Structure 1
Amino acid sequence: MNRRTLLKSATLAAAMAAVSTSQTSLGATRSPKRIIVIGAGIAGLAAASQLAGRGHQVTVLEARTRLGGRLWTSQAWADAPVDLGASWIHEMDGNPLTALAEEAGARLITTSYDSVIDYDVNGRPLSAARAARLATLKDEYQWAIDQGQRHSIDRSLRNTIESELDWASLSNADQELLAFITNSTAEQEYAGSRNDLSTYWFDSLGGYDGDDAVFAEGYQTLINFLARGLNIQLGQTVSAIDSSTSTVKVTTNSGTFSADRVIVSVPLGVLKKGTIRFTPALPSKKTTAINKLGMGHFNKCYLRFPTQFWPQQDWLEYIPPQSQHGQWSQWLNLGRLTGQPVLLGFNAGDFGRQIEAWSDAQIVASAMARLRLIFGQQIPDPVSVQITRWSQDPFSYGAYSFNKLGAKPAMRDDLAAPIGNRLFFAGEATHKNMFATVHGALLSGRRAATQAQA
């Protein structure tokens, strides 16, 4: 079981329909085109791989000095590769990533959200009574969302929960549990603050079934597989795209490239920042989508210790006081997954953004204060750490997209819409139903490739 299952509402048939319209077409084209793909994340590489397989002349321009975009496997620990970006295949059964991983020969390890220990505000395992209350409040939380989605006006997720459940009448203990549920099932999943997430549309609608899994050697296994044989130029920061002439011109820090068609697969955060100048200007529907959709904050803190002092469960959850909402409430035990004594702490939404301004030492001190509350003052300091700051990254400006209050799902279709059969758009933010997922990014790349070769 996984957290997405709690709120998943789409059918598998709808998801499979999305796959069937995006599969790689086979056979060489009779009219090869020059096509530039901007971005070597999984969306861009999926598009480029499909197009190159059809015989088109494809060039991938990537601003970074590495492949993968928001898929980034760190090899800093030779005996324990870790993903600094996305980690999971969510719901493996029927997921196109599962088939691709098998084709790539990648080794997958399943994780389960049923393998969990919850700790109370004092760092003690939840009592049986408190655990029962948590289960009851999860049902009430879902009821509140159902009511909110029937409301005549969309509200923030926080507003909905607090209004529908008569927040002022609840005990502080129940408020703590509900705030934790909101963080663990919504903020941690979609990277948006509970103050910003749309009640109507916060949850991705497309999904599959089955377990979640991580890559034993990291997502880089899949990236390297997709990149085989492609013409990829690294260190190419795109500043302008001009489609006003007979060929599309792409300007980078090293010169100008020309093509018949261009696929733009940069993250939503980059489009929001306006670092790429489009000529002619983007249509108003597309700019509205860029402005109204949210770009989330989600960061990881890997702590490697001399020995493992925590239990064997996959997940360790801490229910913080309301004054520390969402702070170090989610931990993943990587001992079973890597064979090494590593804990991974997640922070999303407001706190995920806040700590990006902190030094590594400050972040580690904050994390260790939480762990020592739970496991005691005697636990050792970490011997090594790896910390992300995705919202400061100039080639992403955030972790992944979410449906912000005021945004509507149709805006993702507007973001994805081709312009004049010359410019095409891909990336997780362009998938109406499967945004904020790697499989959504993969399918968007295949969709853009199919459009570009038409």
Structure 2
Amino acid sequence: MTMHRRRFLQSVGLGLPSLALLASLSACDDSADGEENGTPGRSGRQKVIVVGAGISGLGAARHLADKGHDVSVLEARDRIGGRIWTSQQWSGTPLDLGASWIHGIDGNPITDLAKKAGAKTVVTDLESATDYLAGGQELEGAQAQAFERWQKATANALSAFQKKDDEDASIRSVVQNAVGWSRLSDSDKAMVSYALNDYEHEYSGSVDQMSALYFDDDAKIKGKDVLFPGGYQQITDHLAKGLSVQTGQVVKRIDWTSAGVTVTTDKNAFQADHVVVTLPLGVLQSGAVTFGPGLPQAKTTAIGKLGVGVLNKCYLRFPKVFWANTDWLQYVPNVDKYGQWAQWVNVARPTGQPVLLGFNAADFGRTIENWSDTQIVDSAMATLRTIYGSNIPAPTDHQITRWASDPYAHGSYSFTKLGATSDMRDQLAASVDGRVHFAGEATDRKDYATVHGAYRSGLQAAKKITG
């Protein structure tokens, strides 16, 4: 097992995946050019509907339009970008509520897009972190060594399981069995729990649900992680230039025959030769869109068995900076506070503004979606006051995400759930009858849960049409 996106102290590289995209429900425009029998020649100009204006849909549409095809992008939201969503709520401080990073800039197509878009990037140093124990004291000395030891023990337990076991199990059960959980001290349990929760931040799923065999069966990231001080929206805006995009179109049904496809929205019904469906896995699972004459069993099985996780953000704006001047702030809560406010990003470093970003993943991230903003902010501040003292200033404003409650997302990004296999992503990506094509981060076997995986999946779907 190789962890790679984020930092497990100095020992194991983990990462916070870019929320790939929220390709929404939507639809399109009327009839299509074709041959006399209604089946267009493969080299001829095709009429294509792309459902969803996230980066997967925009990538597919851009490729098809540049090849001379007639493309319409349909988006349920009143904006493009999907799970790439840059807030302009605070003047002069654009903040990404969805995807934040290019994870691994080497050989990454988003790096090339950023250059073409003229988007400035700033490196997030994975080794720039300050770590705190549950009481707020900084982690150092023997405790820091113990923390690192438990990170390695957790990773080694999963690696050993993957080498010898054919029968799957949850990440939590594998790790707790390997480390002798019941015999551990409360302090050691807290450190192991932090390690488990870090996997949840990485992959978005609960460690009680994630497959220990397949959770990390993805490509290894190369190069530094960078974010966009001007917002990720610069990338989707660049891709969308000149494309026909209709917002506010919520897809209800997709039908197809040997002659073409019909996409029905809450407003219209539209025909084309092909459709590229970039709906998030959570939307497919919700049943909000009906497919006629029905999807193959292998695809419906994949939709049902793969998982959709949660990673929510809470931005807090303060009158001044009072926290450590490192990129990451990491907090090891007691076991009874499992997964609560364990990871923070110092937004002041790239923006120059007194802003902190707190993350909550998986079960706790989902739980607090039912809380009010005030309750969420109070909970976050309780942790910050534990670390930095009761006299720190109150935040002047906040911005909070609730991705699981979003009807056009139903979660943040996909993970490989216990009972699923990596092959199921191939089934999810498979075209149906040469007419209905699928893309999105969940369909990409090697780069799921990333923006670049979502983008590449859109290109692959488009190439199935262009040949």
- TM superposition score normalised by structure 2: 0.91
- The aligned counterpart of 2:322 is 309
Paired residues of 1:63 and 1:234 also in contact (CA < 8 A): yes
- The aligned counterpart of 1:368 is 381
Instruction: Give the residue type in structure 2 aligned to 1:281.
Output: G
- The aligned counterpart of 1:38 is 51
| Matching residue within 141, 154, 174 for 1:128 | 141
- The aligned counterpart of 1:450 is 463
Q: 3-state DSSP class of the match of 1:177?
A: helix
Q: 3-state DSSP class of the match of 1:243?
A: strand
Q: What pairs with 1:51-200 in structure 2 (closer than 5 Å)?
A: 51-149=64-162, 150-184=164-198, 186-200=199-213
Q: What pairs with 1:268-347 in structure 2 (closer than 5 Å)?
A: 268-347=281-360
User: How far apart are the structure 1 equivalents of 2:13 and 2:424?
Assistant: 22
Instruction: Give the residue type in structure 2 aligned to 1:173.
Output: S
Question: For structure 1, which segment, 117-126 or 130-139, has the greater mean C-alpha deviation from structure 2 after superposition?
Answer: 130-139
- The aligned counterpart of 1:22 is none
Instruction: Give the residue type in structure 2 aligned to 1:452.
Output: I
- TM superposition score normalised by structure 1: 0.93
User: How far apart are the structure 2 equivalents of 1:446 and 1:74?
Assistant: 27
Paired residues of 2:299 and 2:428 also in contact (CA < 8 A): yes
Unpaired runs of at least 5, structure 2: 15-41
- The aligned counterpart of 1:3 is 6
RMSD: 1.3
Paired residues of 2:161 and 2:174 also in contact (CA < 8 A): yes
User: How far apart are the structure 2 equivalents of 1:452 and 1:276?
Assistant: 22
Could you report, residue by residue, the CA deviation over 1:359-387 in whole angstroms, capped at 9, with x for unpaired residues? 00100010011101111111111111000
User: How far apart are the structure 1 equivalents of 2:212 and 2:287?
Assistant: 28
Instruction: Give the residue type in structure 2 aligned to 1:158.
Output: R
Structure 2 CA distance for partners of 1:284 and 1:4, relative to 1, 3 Å: farther
Q: 3-state DSSP class of the match of 2:257?
A: coil
Aligned residues: 433
| Matching residue within 22, 25, 47 for 2:60 | 47
- The aligned counterpart of 1:426 is 439
Q: 3-state DSSP class of the match of 1:77?
A: coil
Could you report, residue by residue, the CA deviation over 1:253-305 in whole angstroms, capped at 9, with x for unpaired residues? 11111100000001000000000010011111000000000000110000000
Instruction: Give the residue type in structure 1 aligned to 2:88.
Output: Q
Paired residues of 2:130 and 2:330 also in contact (CA < 8 A): yes
User: How far apart are the structure 2 equivalents of 1:302 and 1:432?
Assistant: 31
- The aligned counterpart of 1:349 is 362
- The aligned counterpart of 1:210 is 223
Paired residues of 1:7 and 1:203 also in contact (CA < 8 A): no
In the TM superposition, residue 2 of structure 1 has moved relative to its aligned partner by 4.3
In the TM superposition, residue 247 of structure 1 has moved relative to its aligned partner by 2.2
- The aligned counterpart of 2:423 is 410
| Matching residue within 438, 441, 451 for 2:454 | 441
User: How far apart are the structure 2 equivalents of 1:51 and 1:264?
Assistant: 14
In the TM superposition, residue 216 of structure 1 has moved relative to its aligned partner by 1.4
Instruction: Give the residue type in structure 1 aligned to 2:6.
Output: R
Paired residues of 1:2 and 1:211 also in contact (CA < 8 A): no
User: How far apart are the structure 2 equivalents of 1:312 and 1:4?
Assistant: 17
